[in-house]
Every structure is written in C-alpha cells, then in structure tokens.
C-alpha cells in the first residue's frame, strides 16, 4: 500500500479569487434570479450590488431585495471594497460569498490512487489527501470501504466533523448514469449497473452525487480554468483510459442517458486491438496507458513482472524514446496519430472554441508533438471557419477531486438558493 499523503490548507481567510462560469444574463434565463445573483457574486469573487444588476441586466431594486435574503440566509456577506485612497466619505461596500456557509467533499476513485478534497462554499480548498491502491479492479463493497476511509482521513486532518460536510461528489472512470447515481460499467469495479451513489451515501451518512471522472475534470475547467468565460469547449483526458467532457452553453453536456461523450470507445480500427470494454478497435486501445504498455511489451520486450508497475514501464518507454530508441519513438508516434484522428473527429463534430488536452499522460510530449497537432488540424474541416485552440493542461491528480467537489457544490448551491425562497 502506498502511504497516504495529506496536505491541509490551513488558512481559510485567503482573499477570494472567484470561481464558476462567467456567463451573460441571456444564458441564465432558466435559473432562478436568486441563484443568478448568488452565482454572479461567486464568479466575480467580490462585486457591488450595482455591478451585479448591470451584469444580470435587472433592476438594482430587484438585486437589493434578493441580496437582503441571501445575507439573512447566511450565503453572502458585505465587505469593504477597495477604493481610491484620495476618495472621501463612507467606504464602498461589496458582496462576497460567505465561505463558511457550507463545505462539501470531492472524491476521485481510480485504479492507482484515490484523491479527496474539501472545499468551502466559495469553492476554495480547505484540505486535500490521497490514498494509494494495490488492486486495479475490486468489488463495490471494498470500494465503498476505501472511499469512506478516505473521507474519514481528510476530515481528521482538516479538524472537521462529518456533520460539517453538506454533500460528497464522487468521480470514477467508465460509464456513469449521473442522474441515477449508477455505474453502468467501470474498469475499476467488478459488475455492472451498480448503485454507487446509494451505497456510498448509506455508508457515509451524507448525500452523494456521482459522475464520470472526465466530466468532473471538465467541470473543474469550467469553474476554475480556461473555460470559465467560454460557452463551448471540449476536454480530452489521457490517463489509464481516454475520456472526454463537453461544455455547451456554459453547461456540462452528458447526453440523453448521462453516458455520452465516450470518445475513448469510438472506433478507429475495425477488428482492431482489444479494448478493456470488451470491444475491438476503440481509440482508447491505441492511446491509453495500457495500450502503450502493451506495445512496449511487444516491441521492446518490457514486461511488468520484470520492470514492476505499468507506470514504471511507461517511464522506461519514455526514457528510451528520449534517448533515441526508434522502436520507442514509433510507439509514441503511432499513438499520436490515433490521437490526432480522435481530435479531428471531435473538432468536426462539435466545432468547439477550445480543446483542452489534460491528464497525467500529457507529460509524454510525444503524444502531442507539433506534428501530431498539425495532423489533427489538417484532418479537420477548415471551410469558412477558424479552427479551435488546442491547449495542454497537465493538472495533477487533485484537480479531478476538485471537479467532484464542484459537482456537490453546484447541487448544494441550487438547493440552498431554492430553500431561501421557501423561507
């Protein structure tokens, strides 16, 4: 077992930086105005009432009424706003999210390392932790045990009681029906159609929401990264598998049954390599960790029993490619060409303004070398349109957990803002 590593963010009074999508009023028509006001404040970090009214294109009187409710409800607070030192009179007043209004936890379950984070109601991290694993696939009851132990650990390190947590967001690889909280299939759990959310909630004694991990990484990009001000963008993830998240109109798109965007299981070679989903010719079977390990074991005679873990094999493969081993370079070059094909398909299908390549494998620059990106764009339709930017974001493991926490935070925000209406 890999030792647990925990980092606690000690200072909960850091100035807010703002989080959440930055959207125009026309994109918020389906959201209650009270929630619009709250989310506008959170996205800006600090903002005056009059500026909230301007951003939402509503009357200052309406904003003042709703702000009064949110202040009484403990979701917002007033703070002294920065002003010109030469100005006189009463200091200007701004609004901020009351960070201590609530806390949520996020957990990313994986084949190698589980990660967890606690964030406050302003979206700021409070504590972070990780727990290594020794098995690639396990039974659900054991996974529930591990997740609950991880939550217990992070609460202990943060000095918090479980009752202080409002909800838990959880991400795992595979096909996840987020609405029902069911894992239809996951490479880290034995069995299908498993009620993950219900079982986790029963064990933890807290509301639990679950989603595919690539969706949650995309949610983190939407709330904290380059996608905050974009209405449409795509995130492709390269880890042990290949995932994808799609944002349309500032919202995460999941499909009719919450299991869309499975780019890793689109077919790039009929009757091709066997994928871990059981089918052949999937993109994932040529680009992911286990695909590179498979190629290395054949072309370079590297075997896990001799070199250790798959991660050690990947590092060895990369080192040999950097050292000039042509067989190793060919493996990355081949994977890069399949990745280029997948990227061009995404661009042609969705016409996003931005494509973000993210995940631990982004440190292997052969996968996104200049010729790979050039080939991806060359295979994309260019008639009468500008091709999207392609950015590389090699965020660490904890950003997945932060996306999971954001899933819980979004659900709690909707519930708390609606509760204020009833009150």
Identify the active-site residue in 213, 289, 319, 351.
213
DSSP codes of every residue in 135-149: -SSB-HHHHHHHHHH
How many Å apart are CA 278 and CA 187, to the nearest integer? 11
Q: Which one, of 75, 132, 76, 126, lies nearest residue 105 by Cα?
A: 126
Tokens of 254: 């999941």
Residue whose token pair is 């109601």: 121
From residue 158, give the alpha-carbon distance in Å to each of 16, 148, 162, 207, 215: 20, 15, 11, 20, 27
Q: Is 120 a catalytic residue?
A: no
Characterise 57 by phi-psi region: left (phi > 0), alpha (psi -120 to 50), beta (else).
left
Q: Which residues contact 200 (CB under 8 A, 6 or more apart)?
A: 144, 147, 148, 168, 170, 208, 210
358 close to 394: Cβ distance less than 8 angstroms: yes
DSSP codes of every residue in 185-254: E-TTBSSEEE-HHHHHHHHHTS-EEEEEHHHHHHHHHHHHSTTTT-SSEEEEEESSSEEEEEEETTEEE-
Tokens of 249: 């109109």
247 close to 346: Cβ distance less than 8 angstroms: no
Please list the active-site residues: 213
């Amino acid at each position: 077992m890999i030792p647990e590593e925990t980092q606690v963010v000690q200072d909960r009074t850091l100035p807010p930086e703002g989080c959440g999508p930055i959207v125009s009023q026309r994109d918020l028509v389906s959201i209650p105005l009270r929630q619009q006001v709250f989310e506008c404040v959170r996205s800006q970090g600090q903002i005056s009432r009059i500026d909230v009214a301007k951003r939402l294109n509503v009357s200052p009187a309406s904003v003042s009424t709703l702000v009064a409710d949110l202040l009484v409800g403990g979701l917002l607070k007033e703070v002294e706003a920065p002003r010109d030192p030469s100005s006189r009179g009463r200091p200007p007043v701004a609004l901020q999210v009351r960070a201590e209004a609530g806390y949520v936890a996020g957990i990313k379950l994986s084949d190698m390392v589980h990660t967890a984070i606690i964030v406050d109601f302003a979206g700021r991290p409070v504590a972070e932790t990780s727990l290594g694993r020794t098995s690639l696939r396990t039974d659900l009851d054991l996974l529930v045990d591990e997740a609950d132990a991880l939550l217990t650990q992070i609460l202990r390190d943060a000095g918090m009681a479980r009752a202080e947590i409002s909800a838990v967001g959880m991400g795992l690889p595979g096909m996840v029906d987020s609405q029902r909280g069911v894992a239809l299939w996951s490479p880290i759990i034995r069995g299908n159609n498993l009620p993950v959310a219900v079982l986790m909630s029963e064990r933890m004694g807290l509301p639990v929401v679950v989603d595919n991990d690539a969706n949650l990484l995309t949610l983190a990009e939407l709330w904290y990264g380059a996608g905050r001000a974009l209405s449409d963008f795509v995130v492709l993830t390269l880890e042990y598998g290949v995932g994808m998240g799609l944002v349309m109109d500032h919202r995460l798109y999941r499909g009719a049954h919450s299991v869309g965007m499975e780019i890793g299981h689109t077919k790039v070679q009929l009757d091709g390599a066997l994928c871990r989903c059981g089918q052949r010719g999937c993109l994932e079977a040529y680009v992911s960790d286990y695909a590179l390990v498979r190629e290395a074991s054949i072309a370079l005679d590297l075997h896990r029993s001799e070199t250790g873990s798959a991660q050690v094999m990947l590092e060895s493969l990369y080192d040999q490619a950097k050292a000039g081993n042509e067989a190793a370079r060919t493996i990355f070059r081949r994977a890069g060409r399949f990745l280029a094909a997948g990227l061009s398909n995404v661009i042609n299908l969705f016409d996003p303004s931005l494509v973000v390549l993210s995940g631990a494998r982004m440190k292997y620059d052969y996968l996104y070398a200049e010729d790979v990106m050039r080939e991806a764009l060359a295979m994309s339709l260019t008639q009468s349109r500008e091709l999207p930017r392609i950015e590389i974001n090699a965020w660490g493991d904890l950003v997945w957990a932060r996306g999971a926490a954001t899933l819980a935070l979004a659900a709690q925000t909707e519930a708390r803002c609606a509760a204020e209406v009833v009150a």
